[in-house]
Amino acid sequence: MHDESRRIEERVQRLHDQRIKTAVYAATVPFEVGAWQAPGEPVPFEEAAAASYEPFAMGTPWGPPWGTTWFRMRGQVPAEWAGKRVEAVIDLGFTGDWPGNQAEALVHRTDGTPLKAVNPLNQYVPIAHPARGGETVDYLVEAASNPDILADDFARPTPLGDKRTAGDAPLYTFRSADLAVLDEEVWHLDLDVQVLRELMLELGAHDPRRHEIAHALDRAMDLLDLDDVSGSAPAVREALKPVLSKPAHASAHTVSGVGHAHIDSAWLWPIRETKRKTSRTFSNVTSLAEEYEDFVFACSQAQQYAWVRDHYPQVWARIRESVEKGQWVPVGGMWVESDGNLPGGEAVARQFVHGKRFFMDHFGIETKGVWLPDSFGYNAAYPQIAKLAGNEWFLTQKISWNQTNTFPHHTFWWEGIDGTRIFTHFPPVDTYNARFSGEEMARAVRNYQEKGGASRSLAPFGWGDGGGGPTREIMERARRLANLEGSAKVVVEHPDAFFAKARAEYPDAPVWVGELYLELHRATYTSQARTKQGNRRSEHLLREAELWATTAALHAPDYAYPYEELDRLWKTVLLHQFHDILPGSSIAWVHREAEAEYARVARELRALITEALAALGTGGPRVFNTSPCDRAEVIRSADGTPAYVDVPASGSAPLTDARPPHPVTVDGRVLDNGLVRVEVAEDGTLASVYDLGARREVLAEPGNLLRLHTDLPNHWDAWDIDKHYRNRYTDLLDASSVTVVEQDPLLGAIRVERDFGKGSKITQTITVRAGSPRIDFETDIDWHESEKILKAAFPVDLRAAHSSAEIQFGHVQRPTHTNTSWEAARFEVSGHRWVHIGEPGYGVAVVNDSTYGHDVSRTVREDGGTTTTVRLSLVRAPRIPDPEADQGRHRFTYALLPGARIEDAVAEGYALNLPLRVAEAAGAPEPVVSVEGEGVTVEAVKLADDTSGDVVVRLYESRGGRATGVLRTAFPLAGAQITDLLERPLQDADLTGGGVALALRPFQILTLRLRRG
């Protein structure tokens, strides 16, 4: 037989694209359309319904950036269409090949009932099946003209990312709005041909099945009447039945399809638009559920459900109905799909607390798994946090984007820093927007790493980011691929069902230990520094508010614990931890609003803290310490005078001026407090840091070296930092002034000012305080650079085999060498409040109050000594998607801590982020709880969420070793229980001598519920 593959493939493609696809709609009549441009922000349906509509012709430009245009569409079903399947088909002028953020619309009946959305790949609205001739159709369509920020793959900066700079020129040209007859036989033929053709093209040239399909398609095309596609479609479909009905091989891979519509809670659109995206997508999904009984849709992010509940009650009612039928599946159990690295430990716990409670309260469902397909890496504490929240499985996808190394597993046990393991799956289809194309099915099988051990994977299917979610076409593909020779088998099912089968099939799956580091998007640890600082400040203010509110509730009978306020503020902070807000990868509008929200949150939390402390009574000034560690340090009183105070952990003390053992002396540019001697060079760097107790020089080279690098990654400016950034840089060594600005027995400070670049300026105040080896760098930057990154380097005379960086409820160790490609790929990493390096007998920590990105490297000097350098990433200047990202003022503090052990780094990390607070208070309440024993760190103190008055304490082992101790309370203790994160009892705690006995394994998290006597 001659090889006619090319002729057949080209023939099938042309006939499908030009004849079959174009005949799907057998007849059309246009709607009569009127338009009304909503002024400003979106308006309620009632306002739009009462508006005056002007006639609107097809082919007319419409839609200023971020605008809302309401269209009134009226039509009548022709009499001859009676008994047919009639739909509305609307093309708003969709552009590009991305079904996500661009023109989108929600179609309403005239009574305000939302029907269904219109999206680029989901343009129909069902009217009747069968239709009645003469039936009138009257719709109000809310159309959003969102700009396509992703156009040209982010090739250039755009002003469209903020309504203030986007202009008002129309973005789209309305193409068509029609009543149409869906020719179901042609529609099914279209899908038959698509599925077979795509399968054929993925099979090997020597695979008999490829040629069988090709010749079957060729013969079927002979039956297609080009002058009567509709009339000949049944015969063509009949001819294709034999190749569509051949069953898959017994050993074929099984793909569990789960409907999905990944909606970023903000990204290339503001939060206000996400609220509308959810209504549009969720109306599509509930409509599809009515059409396909076998449809299953998994949806995460409790916040998005709450928006629909509050703003679209009719869509909410349909969601509840679909949940009851088992077609709609709440998953993930988090308030939003948060970033996987940057939120603090307690914040990650609250993501689960608020998310899981929402699903239990509104649907009676406890989610069983973590659904985080798109976050930019996952911290090594996740397995324990997830399990303590009642989860059994973990799903992610983004690791497929690795720049250097291919992750070796798709189904595995993930082991966290404490030893907890959770069953984890990483879909080999390499997308969370699958459509069951032939290419996707082949890729899933080809990629799957577990061949021979397991035989199934999961594929989330549906168009995301406002693309409308799953479609009927995708469901039809799934049905055709359920059992088709040459392809993996598709079964649409609940993700819990997939994980149960996968675990039963592969109980001895391999183990991955430690963080799931994404070898890409490393700049998300640094971009949009003010957003990150807002998050860090909010997390710590929430801790303060809960502690002092609990203290007031225990000691002030008239004080009411602010349950509702704290719940609301937590949810605001959790929302902004979404994986495109906190990482700094959103448009300008998003980050502008985030900064305003953080400022509001801070004001409200400070007011709550002030109210709680005032409830303790008035009197002389007292110092309040929210940190879990005892503190003896220098603070400033109300008039700015420094004072040395000694305050217990989570407690208070009078503001008295005790005297430390050694005063601070200032001699020229040398600061000395008896613990460290710091010499500032003429250029403003640290010439020397001498540890007087250890009798050793800390620095191998000048410290606090500020280095400005050119920073233009290959792609994804706000997301990525590529290794070549290191090759071009300028050291900022020209200080315009180096001045002593404080000279007191309790503290000495030198201010260094630098001008550089395009009008940027840095002012740093280097401070040494009595009684502490910590050297602070209070930094004020007026930043006007473009495509740059600023780093601060501390080259330390240490041979450190690894660095330790704080993460949620513990820390991770990372090698300082680059023996393998896995180590070399970690050239930029994340950490929270501190980074520690050390050699036996000596260590140094770098502490910060709002930065996350850093790198640690090691070199050997000519004298044989080793220099280990810690460099903090301070601020970037990407231009896409926000052309003005990070421009303007930044204020933050970082610090060098010589002679530090891990426990010292922990303590100073809390101290820097939780400044001592001075307030007028007459009472001297004991700390609500105190811990006897080393290594046990209290992370949260609050009243139980059920308003019972029980006290909830969350603590963890922070050094990486075993810890024992006793938790004491300032109130009579009637009982204690160990609970999960949702404060549900697991077992009774052991009581000893009026306290709770503690025995923790390394990095173990423990939640205690304490009943008051």
| DSSP one-letter string for 294-327 | T--EEE--HHHHHHHHHH-HHHHHHHHHHHHHTS
Contact (CB, 8 A) for 967 and 955? yes
Q: What is the value of pTM for the model shown? A: 0.97
Contact (CB, 8 A) for 376 and 341? yes
For residue 6, what pLDDT is reported?
A: 94
Structure confidence by residue, pLDDT tens digits, 776-831: 999 999 999 999 999 999 999 999 999 999 999 999 999 999 999 999 999 999 99
For residue 272, what pLDDT is reported?
A: 97
Which has the closest alpha carbon to 927: 970, 976, 973? 970
For residue 406, what pLDDT is reported?
A: 97
Q: In what order do the strands lie in the sheet with 176-182?
A: 25-30, 176-182, 86-91, 124-128
Pairing assessment for the beta strands 411-415 and 511-513 based on DSSP bridges: parallel
Contact (CB, 8 A) for 398 and 518? yes
For residue 100, what pLDDT is reported?
A: 85
The C-alpha atoms of residue 359 and residue 347 are separated, in whole angstroms, by: 18
Distances (CA, A) of 858 to 318, 795, 855: 59, 9, 10
| Residue 922: pLDDT over 70 | no
Q: Can you give the length of the chain in residues?
A: 1013
117 contacts: CB under 8 Å, gap ≥ 6? 104, 105, 106, 107, 279, 280, 281, 283, 284, 468
Query: What b-and-e string marks burial along 15-51, b requiring 16 or more CB atoms within 10 Å of the CB?
Result: bbeeebbebbbbeeeebebbbbebeeebbebeebeeb
For residue 854, what pLDDT is reported?
A: 98
Q: What confidence category does residue 921 fall into, taking pLDDT thresholds of 50, 70 and 90?
A: confident
897 contacts: CB under 8 Å, gap ≥ 6? 773, 774, 775, 834, 844, 845, 846, 847, 904, 905, 908
Amino acid at 501: K
In the block, tokens 């280095």 appear at 707
The C-alpha atoms of residue 293 and residue 610 are separated, in whole angstroms, by: 55
H or E stretch at 591: helix 588-614
Task: Return the structure tokens found at 242.
Answer: 């034999």
Cβ count within 10 A of residue 688: 16
Task: Return the structure tokens found at 32.
Answer: 């009569």
Task: Say whether the peptide bond before residue 510 is cis (omega within 30 degrees of 0).
Answer: no
Contact (CB, 8 A) for 787 and 711? yes
Mean pLDDT computed over 676-696: 98
Distances (CA, A) of 996 to 964, 968, 969: 11, 7, 9
Mean pLDDT computed over 608-624: 91
Task: Return the structure tokens found at 784.
Answer: 């006007």
DSSP 8-state class, residue 22: G
Point out the residues that are catalytic.
374
Cα torsion 717, 723, 728, 729: sign: positive
Mean pLDDT computed over 851-874: 97
Task: Return the structure tokens found at 744.
Answer: 């007191």
277 contacts: CB under 8 Å, gap ≥ 6? 104, 263, 269, 465, 466
3-class state of residue 572 by DSSP: helix
808 contacts: CB under 8 Å, gap ≥ 6? 343, 344, 345, 348, 379, 381, 382, 385, 832
Cα torsion 152, 153, 159, 163: sign: positive
Contact (CB, 8 A) for 410 and 425? yes
Dmax over CA atoms of the chain, in Å, equals 101
The C-alpha atoms of residue 936 and residue 628 are separated, in whole angstroms, by: 9
| Residue 372: pLDDT over 80 | yes
Query: What b-and-e string marks burial along 648-686, b requiring 16 or more CB atoms within 10 Å of the CB?
Result: ebbbbbebeeeebeebbebeebbbbbbbbbbbbbebbbb
Q: What confidence category does residue 637 fall into, taking pLDDT thresholds of 50, 70 and 90?
A: confident
3-class state of residue 339 by DSSP: coil
**Which residues sit opposite 699 in a β-bridge?**
796
Mean pLDDT computed over 401-417: 97
Structure confidence by residue, pLDDT tens digits, 253-298: 999 999 999 999 999 999 999 999 999 999 999 999 999 999 999 9
Structure confidence by residue, pLDDT tens digits, 645-685: 999 999 999 988 777 789 999 999 999 999 999 999 999 99
Helices (H), 245-394: 271-291, 302-311, 313-325, 345-363, 382-388
Structure confidence by residue, pLDDT tens digits, 502-517: 999 999 999 999 999 9
Mean pLDDT computed over 21-40: 97
For residue 45, what pLDDT is reported?
A: 97
- Taking each helix axis from N to C end, the angle separating 345-363 and 302-311, rounded to the nearest 10 degrees, works out to 50
Backbone angles phi, psi at 936, to 5 degrees: -95, 120
The C-alpha atoms of residue 873 and residue 852 are separated, in whole angstroms, by: 7
Task: Say whether the peptide bond before residue 881 is cis (omega within 30 degrees of 0).
Answer: yes
The C-alpha atoms of residue 761 and residue 294 are separated, in whole angstroms, by: 62
Q: What confidence category does residue 757 fall into, taking pLDDT thresholds of 50, 70 and 90?
A: very high
The C-alpha atoms of residue 56 and residue 67 are separated, in whole angstroms, by: 17
For residue 284, what pLDDT is reported?
A: 97
